Structure 1
Amino acid sequence: MSRIELHLAAEGIALPAPAAPVAAYVPTVLAGNLLHISGQLPFGPDGVLMTGKIGSDHDLAWGQAAAERCALMLVAQMKGALGDLDRVERIVKLGAFIASTADFTDQPKVANGASEMMVRIFGEAGRHARSAVSVPVLPLDASVEIDAIVLVRP
């Protein structure tokens, strides 16, 4: 078991099974030392997709929880692509897309759910650049979608 997997177990963090693509794309592409991960949706611990708009259907806390679930799915995709999470050298960038109302302006706080989870899992290597934007709707009515770029060891 890898160092990161031991850390996950000690923290009581369970990774979901990596989600299969919902359209014509692949979940990950390794280009050189960069792993590009397609946008991941928030599946709750029960496996049900977290849907609805932040600001009308749900509050900030819901959005943060959805972003956290996206982060766990990103890590599951890393594990699936790399085999060993200890190969993760650094989380380079997250792109967070938040389905929210026009008057909701706390997208960065929603994205913090994912950012904080990456630091919780990877420590300093989990600190990253990020964008957080509002969108009117996401695939399957998901509340949040997050993609990533990860620096990996050979």
Structure 2
Amino acid sequence: MSTDWAVPAPQGDYVPAVCHDGVIHTAGMTPRRAGVLVFTGVVGATLSAEEARAAAGLAARNALGAARAAMPGPGTLRCLRMTVFIACTPEFTALSAVADGASAVLAAELGVAALPARSAIGVCALPSGAPVEVELSAAVV
């Protein structure tokens, strides 16, 4: 389990995460490290499914860092829902395989039992040319 949970800086006028009544909702997180987008492109055109899976893992790590920073005190996160948006060509259909990169990070950090319900959605574009964006909702237990 990682103990280095960076809180991504917002790329606009929003906060990385909000906690209300013990439930944390993160903003959409892209695959950034130290504020720099590590992966760019469109999956199925300029980016492979394997690269997109790694990008999804980094984006999920950022979402988890934002969620942990929003925790009101001690506790454990129980992920409830994760949405993985994937910028891809219309022909690219391995969306679930890309989203598995995000799920793998959550499983490694929180345990397989903490995996949330999940959606993987193909889109035509994401902020700053990111190939993936991950949103996370989690309960503090």
TM-score, normalised to structure 2's length? Answer: 0.90
Paired residues for 1:78-89 under 5 Å: 78-82=67-71, 87-89=75-77
Q: Gaps spanning 5+ residues in structure 1: where?
A: 1-6
Selected match of 1:116 from 81, 104, 107: 104
Cα deviation for residue 140 of structure 1 reads 0.3
Aligned residues: 141
- Bigger helix fraction: 1
Q: Is 1:8 the counterpart of 2:2 in the alignment? A: yes
Contact 1:95 1:146 in 2 (8 A): yes
Contact in 2 for aligned 1:89/1:125 (Cα 8 Å)? no
- What is the root-mean-square deviation in Å for CA atoms of aligned residues? 2.0
Q: Secondary structure at the match of 1:147?
A: strand
Identity score, percent: 30
Residue 127 of structure 2 corresponds to residue 139 of structure 1: yes
Unaligned ranges ≥5, structure 2: none
Counterpart of 2:76, as a letter, is V
**Inter-partner Cα distance in structure 2 for 1:71 and 1:50:** 14
Q: Deviations over 1:29-67 (max 9, x none)?
A: 111011001100002589443110000001110010000
Contact kept? 2:43, 2:49, Cα under 8 Å: yes
TM-score (norm 1): 0.83
Equivalent pair of 1:91/1:150 in contact (CA under 8 Å): yes
